[in-house]
């Protein structure tokens, strides 16, 4: 490691340019008096981030993906589960499946009830509205002029109308806006796609801010340690191409490294569980037992169905000449399967009568994929998969460093299904997927179940299949949880407990999982964090 250059001085340093961090950097640098440094470990861009289905090229691409994986455990039948995370400007918003889901009003009301004033639905709604530009829906709930473009992709496949009809036959109604008054029902996915292009936070928040003279964006810059002066955070040590650098923050450092890397950076800096840090030879700067705890994730089995009717799945329409046709259509009109959301159709449903809100999520993908040399590719066999899982799992895992080396991946332990209710609800979700896929309206498609299949009838058989086959939907949250209890890492203004001048703002601060995907709430957290930082440090 070379000598450390003289530290540069900033008002704010933001670590990580992902869903939340890019937003924080944009909002803080909107005032030309604020000097802001944004550090991003990954590169500035990658061509596959522009075309929506580029996610299939990025999900195993080490150039833009941290490619973590979890530790083997009984609930995964000893498998390691892939944990992809974006590593470039835009973070995971630049590689994700593009579905735009806020969650339920109850999610945020629960956060407030857990001791986090300012996070109830009525408090966060203005930030959800401020961030988006969505041309439809009720204006009481939806924003029209925010930086993030959200659209309803065209339902380019007759399959979706059939599944919506089948869902109606089992009592699940169509809901045109699950981000509006109520989440209930089945709907086409809203998407962070506009005119056929992916809308990441790099596109929507950093591109417009890039030329500001008071914002410096450093890519290929890995934050290795926070600089502390007693109980005050004064800056960041980071490396660029093997060279060590330091930057000082006069007002605040905002850590937005995401749910895996934010707890990692705190631990590398001596903030965390004292015994664990000492065992690794790291000097304890501040004891905070909740760092890296409370990991929540959606553990989601994919039910799989072959489709006899020709021409309705991506397998039939997106291979060989079909793919050429889709590419031409995208080039001419941008309205082809190349602008497909990861799961274009989704249903928010209740596991039983009497619940006041949905607790299960089902998502349909109109194709079978198989492993290819450059990531998943479209399989020859024509089919549909439908993932099905509880939205607010109670099982909690951990993420902890195993070395003082910042380049060494932390250890991820999910402890899936350790709360029995998660297993019960997963079985229920699989049974509801089955009920929809075998409803009378589906008959013309000639649907046949292959997973869980004929050996997946009893609850125990279904759970056994879940342990052998389930993956995640890439939504780790909660590892620097917000709250006021002894295991909380940040307070309701996202200040790290016991350390001045240091905040965390990303998916890691969520005390519980939101009901759905996590990009929209992470962006909202970035918006709200910036607002609080500005108010508190002026
Ligand atoms: C494959 C995939 C598919 C998904 N699909 C969807 C979907 O369809 N809809 C949805 O809503 N959500 C989806 N998600 C989840 C969603 O994208 C994430 O929850 C969200 O992006 C998290 O935002 P974040 O700000 O917490 O972290 P991220 O967006 O991951 O940002 C963290 C950033 O910090 C950088 N960083 C980390 N450590 C350091 C360091 N030490 N120094 C410098 N930089 C650092 C990272 O490189 C990264 O750019 C998906 C995620 C993945 C990976």
pLDDT tens string 349-402: 999 999 999 999 999 999 898 888 877 888 888 999 999 999 999 999 999 999
Lowest mean per-residue pLDDT among 89-98, 337-346, 423-432: 337-346
Residue 301 confidence (pLDDT) above 70 = yes
Instruction: Specify the ligand 1 atom closest to the Cα of 20.
Output: 25
Could you give the CA distance from residue 62 to residue 85 in angstroms, rounded to a whole number?
A: 10
Kindly calculate the radius of gyration of the chain based on its CA atoms and give it in whole angstroms. Answer: 23
Q: Cα(147)–Cα(297) distance, rounded to whole angstroms? A: 28
- 490: in domain: yes
Question: What separation in Å is there between the alpha carbon of 86 and the centre of ligand 1?
Answer: 5
Structure-token pair, residue 253: 């450092």
Assigned domain for 184 exists: yes
* CATH code (residue 60): 3.50.50.60
Return the residue matching tokens 């409370």.
294
On whether both 228 and 88 belong to a single domain, the answer is: yes
Question: What CATH number does residue 359 fall under?
Answer: 3.30.410.40
pLDDT tens for 238-254 read 999 999 999 999 999 99
Nearest CA, atom 4, ligand 1? 96
Answer yes or no: do 174 and 233 share one domain: no
Does an H or E element contain 57, and which? helix 55-58
Task: Give the closest residue to 337 by CA, choosing from 311, 318, 310.
Answer: 318
In this prediction, residues 498-502 reach a mean pLDDT of 98
Residue 361 β-bridge partners: 348, 389
- Residue 349 within any structural domain of the chain: yes
User: Residue 49 gets which letter from DSSP?
Assistant: G
| Predicted local distance difference test score (pLDDT) of residue 3 | 47
Task: Look at residue 18 in the predicted model and tell me its pLDDT.
Answer: 98
Query: Mutate which of 58, 59, 92, 361 to test ligand 1's pocket (most atoms within 8 Å of Cβ)?
Result: 92
Ligand 1 centroid to 50 CA: how many Å? 16
Report how far ligand 1's centroid is from the alpha carbon of 140 (Å): 29
DSSP annotation of 520 reads H
Q: Which domain holds residue 97?
A: 1-105+198-293+401-412+476-538
E strands, 199-342, where? 215-218, 221-229, 232-240, 243-255, 271-272, 286-287, 299-300, 302-307
Question: Residue 98 is encoded by which pair of tokens?
Answer: 């593009």
Residue 94 forms part of a structural domain: yes
Q: What is the average pLDDT score of the chain? A: 95
CA 433 / ligand 1 centre spacing (Å): 28
Q: Whose Cα sits closest to atom 49 in ligand 1?
A: 91
The reported pLDDT for the residue numbered 209 is 98
Q: How confident is the model at residue 403 (pLDDT cuts 50, 70, 90)?
A: very high
Residue nearest to atom 39 of ligand 1 (CA): 257
Task: List, chain by chain if needed, residues with CB within 6 Å of any ligand 1 atom.
Answer: 15-21, 39-42, 59, 84-87, 91-93, 95-99, 101, 221-223, 256-259, 261, 265, 342, 474-475, 506-507, 517-520, 522
What pLDDT score was predicted for residue 4? 53
526: which residues sit within 8 A by CB, 6+ positions away? 19, 20, 21, 22, 23, 24, 27, 201, 256, 505, 506
pLDDT at 158 (0 to 100) = 84
Task: Tell me: pLDDT of 276 over 70.
Answer: yes
Instruction: Give the distance (Å) from ligand 1 centre to CA of residue 519.
Output: 8
Report pLDDT for 154. 77
Quick one: pLDDT at residue 5?
Answer: 52
Quick one: 494 and 428 in the same domain? no
Please indicate, yes or no, whether residues 381 and 444 belong to a single structural domain of this protein.
yes
Question: Among 331-335, 380-384, 482-486, which range has the highest average pLDDT?
Answer: 482-486
Q: Determine which residue's CA is closest to atom 21 belonging to ligand 1.
A: 92
Task: Kindly state whether residues 276 and 219 are assigned to the same domain.
Answer: yes
- Give the residue from 433, 448, 469 where a domain finishes: 469
Q: Please report the atom of ligand 1 found closest to the CA of residue 58.
A: 1
Co-location of 205 and 66 in the same domain: yes
Cα dihedral 451, 361, 481, 140, rounded to 10, equals 160
Which pLDDT belongs to residue 6?
57
CB-based burial of residue 373 (10 Å sphere; 0-12 exposed, 13-18 middle, 19+ buried)?
Answer: exposed
| Contact in structure between 395 and 370 (CB atoms under 8 Å) | no
> How many structural domains comprise the chain?
2
How many A from CA of 528 to the centre of ligand 1?
A: 17
- Tell whether 19 and 33 lie within a shared domain: yes
Q: How confident is the model at residue 2 (pLDDT cuts 50, 70, 90)?
A: very low
365 with 437, same domain: the answer is yes
Task: Specify whether 215 is located in the same domain as 98.
Answer: yes
The answer on 12 and 43 residing in a single domain is yes
Question: Is 100 within the bounds of a domain?
Answer: yes
> Would 120 be classed as within a structural domain?
no
Higher-confidence residue: 377 or 447? 447
118 belongs to a structural domain: no
Domain boundary among 469, 489, 510: 469
Query: Annotated catalytic sites, by residue?
Result: 475
**Mean of pLDDT values over 95-120:** 98
Q: Which position has the token pair 């596959």? A: 48
> Domain ends where: 449, 469, 489?
469
Quick check: is 5 in a domain? yes
Question: Whose CA is closest to atom 27 on ligand 1?
Answer: 258
486 & 382 share domain: no
pLDDT higher than 80, residue 538: no
Please tell me the residue having the least CA distance from ligand 1 atom 18: 519
Same domain, 178 and 213: no
């Amino acid at each position: 490691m070379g000598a450390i250059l003289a530290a540069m001085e900033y008002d704010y340093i933001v670590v990580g340019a992902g869903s939340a961090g890019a937003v924080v950097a944009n909002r803080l640098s909107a005032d030309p008096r604020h000097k802001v440094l944004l550090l991003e470990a990954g590169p500035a861009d990658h061509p596959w981030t522009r075309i929506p289905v580029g996610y299939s090229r990025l999900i195993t691409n080490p150039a833009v993906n941290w490619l973590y994986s979890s530790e083997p455990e009984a609930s995964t039948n000893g498998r390691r589960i892939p944990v992809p995370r974006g590593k470039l400007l835009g973070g995971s918003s630049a590689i994700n499946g593009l579905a735009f889901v806020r969650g339920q009003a109850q999610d945020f009301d629960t956060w407030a009830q857990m001791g986090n004033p300012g996070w109830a639905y009525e408090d966060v709604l203005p930030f959800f509205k401020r961030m988006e530009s969505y041309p439809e829906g009720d204006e009481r709930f939806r924003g029209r002029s925010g930086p993030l473009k959200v659209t309803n992709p065209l339902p380019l496949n007759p399959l979706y109308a059939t599944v919506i009809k089948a869902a109606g036959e089992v009592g699940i109604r169509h809901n045109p806006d699950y981000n509006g008054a109520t989440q209930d029902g089945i709907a086409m996915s809203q998407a962070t796609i506009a005119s056929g292009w992916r809308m990441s936070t790099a596109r929507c928040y950093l591109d417009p801010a890039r030329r500001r003279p008071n914002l410096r964006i450093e890519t290929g810059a890995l934050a290795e340690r926070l600089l502390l002066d007693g109980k005050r955070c004064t800056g960041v040590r980071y490396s660029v191409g093997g060279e060590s650098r330091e930057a000082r923050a006069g007002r605040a450092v905002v850590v937005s490294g995401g749910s895996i890397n934010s707890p990692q950076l705190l631990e590398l800096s001596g903030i965390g569980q004292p015994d664990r840090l000492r065992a690794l030879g790291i000097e304890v700067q501040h004891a905070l037992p909740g760092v890296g705890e409370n990991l929540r994730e959606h553990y989601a089995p994919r039910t799989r169905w072959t489709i006899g009717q020709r021409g309705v799945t991506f397998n039939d329409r997106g291979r060989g000449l079909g793919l050429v046709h889709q590419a031409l259509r995208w080039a001419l009109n941008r309205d082809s399967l190349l602008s497909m959301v990861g799961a274009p159709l989704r249903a928010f449903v209740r596991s039983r009568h009497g619940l006041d809100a949905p607790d299960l999520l089902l998502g349909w993908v109109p194709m079978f994929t198989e492993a290819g040399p450059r990531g998943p590719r479209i399989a020859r066999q024509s089919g549909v998969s439908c993932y099905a899982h509880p939205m607010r799992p109670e099982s909690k895992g951990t993420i902890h460093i195993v070395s003082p080396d910042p380049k060494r991946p932390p250890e991820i332990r999910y402890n899936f299904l350790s709360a029995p209710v998660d297993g019960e609800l997963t079985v229920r979700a699989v049974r509801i997927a089955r009920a929809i896929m075998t409803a009378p309206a589906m008959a013309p498609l000639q649907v046949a179940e292959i997973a869980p299949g004929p050996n997946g009838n009893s609850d125990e058989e279904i759970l056994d299949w879940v342990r052998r086959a389930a993956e995640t939907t890439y939504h780790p949250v909660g590892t620097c949880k917000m709250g006021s209890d002894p295991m909380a890492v940040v307070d309701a203004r996202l200040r790290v407990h016991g350390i001045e001048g240091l905040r965390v703002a990303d998916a890691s601060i969520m005390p519980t999982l939101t009901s759905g995907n996590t990009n929209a709430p992470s962006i909202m957290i970035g918006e709200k964090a910036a607002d609080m930082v500005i108010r508190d440090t002026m």
